[in-house]
Structure 1
């Protein structure tokens, strides 16, 4: 059984150094996730099994190449993890296939301003070749909302506005709600059953919310990643995804009441033990 992880954390957005829409806690988040996966024996800390992309190395091309590496050769029962901590955004869906809001949710690589964002459609396409029975957990600590990045009381929002060429059409056609990145529609529950989904999605917030980072234990951390890693360390290996979600959600709310994590998957994947 293969165990592999692609871990992305971006504080420094192009241009390198001061000047981009920079964050502060995402590289620390990536380190925390990599260390948690390693110490729990989920994914070994060796380059053949774990790839880490941070800051200027986390380009659009490198992230997509890393996703291809992650799923290539995967077999049933393999444990695969894609983790991303950084800015999220939305752009108008040119195909209008997003029936709920006509928007594509995105993650923002280091060079998104020149190379473009990575949309939910591109992410789904990147994992369409995943072998049946392989266990892929996609974990995203980023915003999927329609409010520009701004400082709030004691925390920073992980959202970046797209350029005017795209944001104008979004703002001129307001919608009631947004789909979560790679999700299938708004829902009121923390765990959402999505029949036929070939992966499990862990989102740091719901479709119409903001994911935040702030001071935790003497450093800056993403609220969702911190609570996820802490809960996983306390419960693994005897915890289902649904049970882990039920622990993480109130822990995040206790630190930041503006976001509610979201779990999506099939009934079987939600009820099975995580990372097995």
Structure 2
């Protein structure tokens, strides 16, 4: 069985004007849901959470249910479109242990963000034989991005980065993250785009940008869209989802490059998974 949880957040608390709102994430969520139907997902097996429904408890509870109820042979998808950020990972001994990437639910300002550690805890319970695709169209760090040269046919007035600036304490540690990592003899993260093989990873991660970049949204074909999701879904629809991961990754990368996007997508999985078809 094919099942999915799709999350899109334009409206950040408080409801209505006032939060760090975005414009293209609901369009992204709609496109992803419709694209998955074309790729063989039954509409009844697709759960969508948007805006005020996309709270931290809701996202975590529905994701836990999606993972726990899946059995060998299932193909499941978790998709998120919205703001991202980075936060300091501070241990019980108050030592800094690197930076966590995080997504921002609708109520992040009161309930908190959802860290990569939260996802790891859920995904660790994934049963053997279940295929999981994790797709993030959000920013993974706070470096400055250049304006995009999208050509005369695209309206740049709506362009926006999907990034929540970190709090001062997180920003400070992020600034010195490389020194902290070096002092702990941690592995350096790749700063170049690639299919990144990760040993023992039990899912495939599709990231809209590298860790050092922000992900952008802007006007595409008359709608505000996340640039990554727009091309990702367009390619999936054109192939009905009958495409191997490394080909999908390459075609999305080429599409982003052709439009002059400042972001570079990155895909992580087991080496063998790159040559296999998505959703199988």
Runs of 4+ in 1 over 4 A off after TM superposition: 150-153
- Aligned partner of 1:225 in structure 2 is 229
Equivalent residue number for residue 200 of structure 2: 196
What TM-score, normalized to structure 2? 0.87
Change in Cα spacing, 1:188 to 1:166, as seen in structure 2 (3 Å) is closer
1:84 aligns with 2:80: yes
Cα deviations by residue, 1:1-58 (Å, 9 ceiling, x for unpaired): x2110000000000111110000000100000000001231x1111xx1110000100
Quick one: structure 1 residues 185 and 169, their matched pair in 2 at CA, closer, same or farther if it must change by over 3 Å? Answer: closer
- Give 2:189's aligned residue: 185
Pairing partner for 1:136 from 132, 152, 159? 132
Q: What's the Cα RMSD here?
A: 2.5
Structure 1 stretch displaced more, 101-110 or 22-31 = 101-110
In 2 relative to 1, CA 133–185 (structure 1 residues): closer, same or farther, beyond 3 Å? Answer: farther
Q: Structure 1, unaligned stretches of length 5 or more?
A: 179-183
The 1:32/1:129 distance shift into structure 2, 3 A limit, reads: same
Deviations along 1:65-115, one digit per CA (max 9) or x if unpaired, are: 11111111212221100000000000111139xxx9810110000000000
Tell me by how many angstroms 1:151 deviates: 9.8
Q: Which has the larger radius of gyration?
A: 2
SS in 2 for 1:138: strand
Q: How many residues are matched?
A: 264
Aligned counterparts of 2:19 and 2:161: Cα–Cα separation in 1: 15
Q: Distance in 2 between matches of 1:106 and 1:158?
A: 12
CA distance in 2, matches of 1:215, 1:175: 35
Do the aligned partners of 1:101 and 1:175 also contact (CA within 8 Å) in 2?
no
- Structure 2 residue runs without a partner (length 5+): 149-155, 182-187
Instruction: Give 1:268 shift.
Output: 2.0
Q: More helix per residue: 1 or 2?
A: 2
Alpha-carbon distance between aligned partners in 1 of 2:104 and 2:31, rounded to the nearest angstrom? 20
Offset of residue 164 of structure 1: 3.2
Q: Counterparts of 1:93-112 in structure 2 under 5 Å? A: 93-95=89-91, 102-112=98-108
